[in-house]
Structure 1
């Protein structure tokens, strides 16, 4: 069936979102306020805040009427290793016109994925590798013709065409691709043998200010505890501020702006800077399992097929103090989404079991690189080949009703077609993603499932507020990013307007119910999507 025809055909068969059990605003308020209270200490994984969070979520799922989702257990252990860098020495660049020393936290941050007592680079040759991308299918390789084994690579954030305002370009123009995300850049640097990898922070292409990097990259860092202790990764990974990078390049006799511009052009060749980097730090290592929380509403006639709702319960815990407050409460991010998970569970239980099973997954360590969802996707409780699809929720709209519903990373899967009738029922329109350069599609837990073939909706309220329009909506979102995102100020506010969140959750309910009751539906990726082949292989095996 042609995807373009799918919404028209579904209009007559979709269960009406308007007949869904009411989404409980009281649940949204209570769960959000509780999880984001100081008593939960910012919900950092493997801390006392996690123990409180998991216990609370289990109690909420049980009270909603779900069953334990993991073979009689409410949780799935996620093995974690916590690495805390201490006594971090400055980045010292020598060999130029004068030594350049970058101070920890103010000029740069540093860490490692390697589970080792120390991380050190000494007199490591420094090479500028542009955007640090190796994409043979696009004819692009920033590492072509250069050997960076044992060396330090300096990398630009985002994609080479991020300043293109449309979607044309080798990397989808303004829309960030996976190649633009920092996890990819560190991963690719390690594949090329780099001893150290440093990303240059620039607020616009990074999509967040230095304060976010500073709060996220200092203190304990989590990674999955896997065989090999990640010793195939670079000794040192980190960031430096753009003004600091300009000083480093000037010391090397290079024009930072000119080289950054050159890196945007296909065929760019990496540039040795003639500098050497020395830095290092000790690591405190702690191994401890975190937990995903899983509840399920078993299906009636197709119980071995699963529809999935997900949201991450974690946040940053204790963080850089602002005005004496050092708890990053994570009220919007993502106590709201977790509250939405519980409210949806209540609604589905009230409606009664669907034909397929519906699973509710609250995952850990999203803020540490999607670790909880990645672990689940790689060690699924329910086979991915039998997981129909679902919805991920990360930050609900608390600014009021909006006229548009935006699909993050639009143009990837048939899930997008399935959701459109439910959007139309509310008299809303599908809007255009306001900030595709932020790479939202690759920054939340649905991506862990997408990489392994499962289509998940990542969509919600746009910026066109019913009261105030796009100007007010955009201002509210930018204010959140600038002043509260990943900061202690992300706290519960009794004045929040939950009407927009309720409308979005009603759409999620309708979509999930459609997927769970129509056993003929197996949404796939569009043929142009990078995950299509994985899904096809999985489904062929399941059949």
Structure 2
């Protein structure tokens, strides 16, 4: 191997190139201002877009706005000749439902309710149920529920203590979500939850939640009154919840008929994608992502989603404008930069999932995803450290050893924020690592950094998440730091190494 000699002239030349790049980065980062961020966010989080719920007119208006700015900046369409990657969304509508046990009919909302999308349209005849008490993990031990319907009580005994390693997300093992998930994992055909909250004060919604993938088989989910539960357990009189707690676990027989009449509507949503083509490494990619959807409008009240994630969407737009301006002045990136505004995040990371499963650019050639989701506020739960000069960074010690070196380096050089890594703890009870769009890149092996401002409990997923609450000066500083990180990653000689296993527990 030939030895490379670094002469004083060569070293000086290399220093000059690096200095010129730093100067250019600082120059175009200066176009990211509190004023420009506020201008864009005031549109994205406006009443006109009605909270941007996935597969609604408000979301489509937001997509059109983002596309218009990508065009204005001079980005190329990211999907052939289109700026949008459309993906299917489905929604069920209930036309009617009947339930009877041993020939006795029961009424919706008076005696039972059910999840509209969980049951297939048509008649289901159920002749046996497996009663598992509270349906806790230990209740499933040594009991075969494959192909059967599982019946269980709500909650847990007063003295119940979950295992030390039990997951805490969505209420932990005592929550209905966990119980139903356990039953489904073990092959059950459906679950029936016993509740004493009948008759219901709020009618069952005739339209179900939207979903991304059509199920190949139904998994019926029904909540029933004490009277129905007693009938399913072979009792001729109604047992109270306290008496139902005393019933032995096991298989019980009753002739049950569930007759569901529903229709499925095919909807669609989209990711908005613009690309700034690189120079000598244009076939390698840096992704800057953020989700532009939010919760929409409920009972005529708009959930504006200014921070979540209007702030991340605005960050992507502002960085797109800065990088495009740099290219026009002869300072274009070596790698191509993909500006990816995804929808469906609030539904379950749908847009990024669809992109990761149908990538428009090879994930093997994608150096990194820098994901921005909530960077405009101060964490109301932050009790230590500087609350006015920080950002949470997730993913710094995962997948690539290059990540912290670059990110910490540019932060020290340009912005001096406190980079807080608290949510990188594998034992993080909030499981933040799994809860935004970077995760769909990470699970495919693409190095990621996720920038986040924290748990804003006062306004999180509430109509009060509005533009007037945003700290634009702090947001400016955070976005500049992300821009500088992307600048280095787009211009360095090598793609980021993929040299660290993902050390997060399976979901």
For normalisation by structure 2, the TM-score amounts to: 0.71
How far apart, CA to CA, are the structure 2 residues paired with 1:417 and 1:303?
23
1:42-101 per-position Cα deviation (integer Å, ceiling 9, x unaligned): 2223332233122111101111221111112111121222223465789x999xxxxx99
Pairing 1:337–2:312 present: yes
> Within the alignment, does 1:412 sit opposite 2:386 as a pair?
no
Rounded Cα–Cα distance in structure 1 between residues aligned with 2:282 and 2:487: 14
Alpha-carbon distance in 2 for matches of 1:155, 1:506: 52
For 1:409 and 1:89, the matched residues in 2 are separated by: 49
Q: Is residue 232 from structure 1 mapped to residue 211 from structure 2 by the alignment?
A: no
Residue 286 of structure 1: CA displacement?
0.9
Q: Which moved more, 1:498-507 or 1:303-312?
A: 498-507
Change in Cα spacing, 1:528 to 1:30, as seen in structure 2 (3 Å) is: closer
* Cα distance in 1 for residues equivalent to 2:399 and 2:466: 34
CA positional deviation for 1:454 = 1.6
Tell whether the 8 Å contact from 1:124 to 1:152 is kept in structure 2 after alignment.
Answer: no
C-alpha RMSD over aligned residues: 4.8
User: Given the alignment of the two structures, is residue 110 of structure 1 paired with residue 112 of structure 2, yes or no?
Assistant: no
- The 1:185–1:35 alpha-carbon spacing in structure 2 relative to 1, beyond 3 Å, is farther
- Tell me if structure 2 keeps the 8 A contact 1:74–1:293: yes
Q: CA contact under 8 A between 1:15 and 1:514: conserved in structure 2?
A: no
Task: Report the equivalent of 1:426.
Answer: 416
Superposed CA offset, 1:211-244 (max 9, x none): xxx9xx984422235xxx412351338899xxx9
Q: 507, 520, 542: which one pairs with 2:481? A: 507
- Residue number in structure 2 paired with 1:517: 491
Alpha-carbon contact 2:288-2:338 (below 8 Å) kept: yes
Report the Cα offset of residue 418 of structure 1. 3.6
CA distance in 2 between partners of 1:527 and 1:396 (Å)? 27
CA distance in 1, matches of 2:245, 2:370: 51
Judged with a 3 Å threshold, the aligned counterparts in structure 2 of structure 1 residues 125 and 337 are, in CA distance, closer, same or farther, namely same
Taking the aligned partners of 2:397 and 2:174, their CA distance within structure 1 comes to 18
Q: Is the 8 A contact 1:455 1:525 kept in 2?
A: no
TM alignment of 1:118-129, pairs within 5 A: 122=126, 125-128=129-132
- Counting only pairs closer than 5 Å after superposition, residues 29-178 of structure 1 correspond to structure 2 as 29-85=38-94, 110-112=115-117, 116-117=120-121, 122=126, 125-128=129-132, 145-152=143-150, 170=165
Which TM-score applies when normalising by structure 1? Answer: 0.67
Residues 49-448 of structure 1 aligned to structure 2 (within 5 Å): 49-85=58-94, 110-112=115-117, 116-117=120-121, 122=126, 125-128=129-132, 145-152=143-150, 170=165, 189-197=183-191, 219-225=207-213, 229-236=214-221, 250-253=242-245, 272=250, 282-319=261-298, 321=299, 325-352=300-327, 353-399=332-378, 402-408=388-394, 411-414=397-400, 415-424=403-412, 425-433=415-423, 436-448=428-440
Contact 1:155–1:197, Cα closer than 8 Å, also in 2:
no
- Is the 8 Å Cα contact of residues 119 and 235 (structure 1) preserved in structure 2? no
How many angstroms apart in 1 are the aligned matches of 2:52 and 2:472?
A: 23
Could you tell me how far apart the structure 2 residues matched to 1:420 and 1:58 are? 32
SS in 2 for 1:290: strand
Contact kept, 8 Å, 1:249 with 1:273, in 2: the verdict is no
The residue number in structure 2 matching 1:211 is none
Aligned length: 444
Quote the Cα distance in structure 1 between the aligned partners of 2:357 and 2:217.
20
- The Cα of 1:192 is off from its aligned counterpart by 3.0
CA contact (8 A) 2:84 2:273 kept: yes
CA offsets 1:411-453 (integer angstroms, 9 cap, x no match): 4333345423344451524342399322222122112222222
Confirm or deny: 8 A CA contact 2:304 2:465 kept in the other structure.
yes
**CA contact under 8 A between 2:131 and 2:151: conserved in structure 1?**
yes
Deviations 1:99-137 (A, max 9, x none): x99959x997624367x435868566255498988xxxx
Would you say the 8 A contact 2:287–2:368 is kept in 1? Answer: yes
Residues 351-394 of structure 1 deviation map (CA, whole Å, 9 limit, x = unaligned) = 32211011011112122221111111101000111111121122
CA contact (8 A) 2:389 2:474 kept: no
User: Quick check: 2:277–2:337 contact (8 Å CA) kept in 1?
Assistant: yes
CA shift in 2, pair 1:189/1:21, >3 Å? farther
